[in-house]
Amino acid sequence: MALFSKKPAEKTPLDGVAVVLADLDGVVYAGPKAIPHAVESLNKAAETTRVGYITNNASRTDAQVAHHLRELGLDLVAKDVVTSPQAAMGLLREVAPAGSTILVIGGEGLTHEVTKAGFVVTDSAESNPAAVIQGFSPDVGWRNLAEAAFALNARPDGYPDGIPWIATNMDWTIPVERGTAPGNGTLVSAVHLATGRLPIVAGKPELPIFDEAKRRFNTSAALFIGDRLDTDIQGAVSAGIASALVLTGIDRAKQLLAAPVGSRPDFILSDLRELHEPYPVVVIDKRGGVTVRDACVSLASAAGGMTDLVIESAGDSELDLLRASCAAIWNSGKAIFGFNVPEHLYS
């Protein structure tokens, strides 16, 4: 992994990568507007490397997403966009008979894929659906969630445990122009509380959406860029894909320092310009101290079995200091609650 390399190397995060896969919310845009430096950086990457886009947001079709991205200045077509509804169709085909009626809780992005897959869409539990599929839409309301609960609580012939339930994703929040808003996971949890059931999930961090991307772009030599540890990075790690966390969305320094095994990125970027810049070598000494360029941290025993993270040299870059601190904590084998961390590192 790049964070723990001990060999000097002047490599960018894009070296050796066949396909760049970028999340959208918090990476490319927040609401309708592009995040600074994202568009030009991804267009530059596309000059030498194929670029695809993955989104858990199920409210729009791939064509609508591609149109929005082109309006922002990106060069792509609809097939370059992998959506959670597309990944969910593989799951739906496994649990519902071909051509059956499906209760869809969500927006056009989801109904479009369900229809394209040959199923009949309904919004009422009274239509005796063969399955429920749920995805994010800002227009989903109580009546929609109630219909899902009615359908899932029923026990029709052949389904003693209830009909299948698929969620496109479980993101608790979604970044929008005005800030952070409830995501599909929040809406799914309302149905869960009303039914006592849990859905099968297609989107990040689950594997179906990454498997769809691998098939679509015919490669495993990918770099996935995300802004969330619990969905983007965890999913990429599980899928065996290199990952970069960019600090323009949901997760920031505090979450990075506490990242558990399985949710730790290979690269930490302040913005997407750094895709094209040499990534600094991380040097770890025998005592667990870490140096990144001129930033240096060490570990020291403290009272009560705690460990102090000591800043030996802050260096010229807050980002390099964060990279060094993450490497020291992650390499220690200890969880974050065993550390005393200087507050300014994460505030």
In the sheet that holds 131-134, the strands lie side by side as 120-122, 101-105, 131-134, 165-167, 200-201
Alpha carbon distance 136, 58 (integer Å): 5
Residue 118 — left, alpha, or beta (φ > 0 → left; ψ -120 to 50 → alpha)? left
The DSSP element (H or E) to which 332 belongs, if any, is helix 318-332
What DSSP assignment string belongs to 38-106?
Answer: HHHHHHHHHTTSEEEEEE---SS-HHHHHHHHHHHT----GGGEEEHHHHHHHHHHHHS-TT-EEEEES
> Do 114 and 102 meet the contact criterion of CB atoms below 8 Å apart?
yes
Active site residue 139: no
Active site residue 23: yes
Sign of the CA dihedral 327, 328, 330, 331? positive
- Catalytic member of 15, 25, 62, 80: 25
Considering only CA atoms, which of 159, 218, 184, 15 is closest in space to residue 105? Answer: 184
- Catalytic member of 23, 62, 171, 251: 23
Catalytic amino acids? 23, 25
